Amino acid sequence: MTGTSERDLLARKLVKRLVGGDEAAWEEFVTRYRRLIFSAIHRVNERYGAGWDAIQMEELFSDSLYKLLRHDARSLAAWEGRCRLETWIYRIVRNVCIDRLRRVTRRGEVHEVDEERPDPARQESGAKGRSELIDLRLSLEQAIDDVLDPREALAVRLIYFEGHTYRDVADAIDMTVGAVSGMVYRALSKLREVGGIARERQEGTR
């Protein structure tokens, strides 16, 4: 990454300490990135209508920390500096949340928010529709993982799932806006070839 900032240098040092098994670095990491991790969890919760309560989100927070810090922070050690550490962490946490959603939908445990006077037939229909919608979105997620390289996948998710601009993505992965635009165009072409985008549009996913 060109033009490495002081923040990036501090992030590299922190990751190095984590990989080296420095226990004090664990507490520093949690303090510094706790808010970011919960933000990622909340975004997935809102986007997919998962209905996670505070306890479930705390569980996801713990699962995310385990994923990030286990085996001497192996997941963080894979960060090569081609994007900001915050972006890398966000992606890992998001994957933890998506894995939870996949397990839930396989068990058919997608629920509607309780109403004052619930209609059983309406609730059953609504739960089924939401489950199908989540399945569709997760299928698109899988297509992104299978077809796109990591940088393409990250750009597509940031722009189309998280609402970031091309400029935001360019800054995050150290590319020009034009280069990001071309990369995203090629990524969308790949997804169209496997039918991911067509399926998403056909079901009216937003």
Query: Are the CB atoms for 162 and 113 separated by under 8 Å?
Result: no
pLDDT tier at 114 (50, 70, 90 boundaries)? Answer: very low
- What pLDDT shows up at residue 43? 87
The pLDDT tens digits of the residues spanning 54-95 come to 889 999 999 999 999 988 899 999 998 878 899 899 989 988
Fold of 6-109: Rna Polymerase Sigma Factor; Chain: A (1.10.1740)
Instruction: Summarize the confidence of residues 178-197 as an average pLDDT.
Output: 81
Mean pLDDT of the chain: 78
What's the start-to-end Cα distance of the chain, in Å? 34
Instruction: Summarize the confidence of residues 22-28 as an average pLDDT.
Output: 89
pLDDT tier at 48 (50, 70, 90 boundaries)? Answer: confident
| Runs of H (alpha helix) within 49-163 | 54-77, 85-107, 120-147, 150-156
pLDDT at 50 over 50: yes
The pair of three-digit structure tokens given for residue 71, joined into one six-digit string: 């085996």
- What pLDDT shows up at residue 199? 45
The Cα–Cα gap between 169 and 153 comes to 12
pLDDT at 4 over 70: no
Query: Are the CB atoms for 69 and 81 separated by under 8 Å?
Result: no
Domain ranges for the chain, please list them.
Answer: 6-109
Residue 3 is classified by DSSP as: S
pLDDT tier at 116 (50, 70, 90 boundaries)? Answer: very low
* pLDDT, greater one: 107 or 185: 185
pLDDT at 10 over 50: yes
Coil, helix or strand at residue 21: coil
The Cα–Cα gap between 202 and 204 comes to 5
pTM over 0.95: no
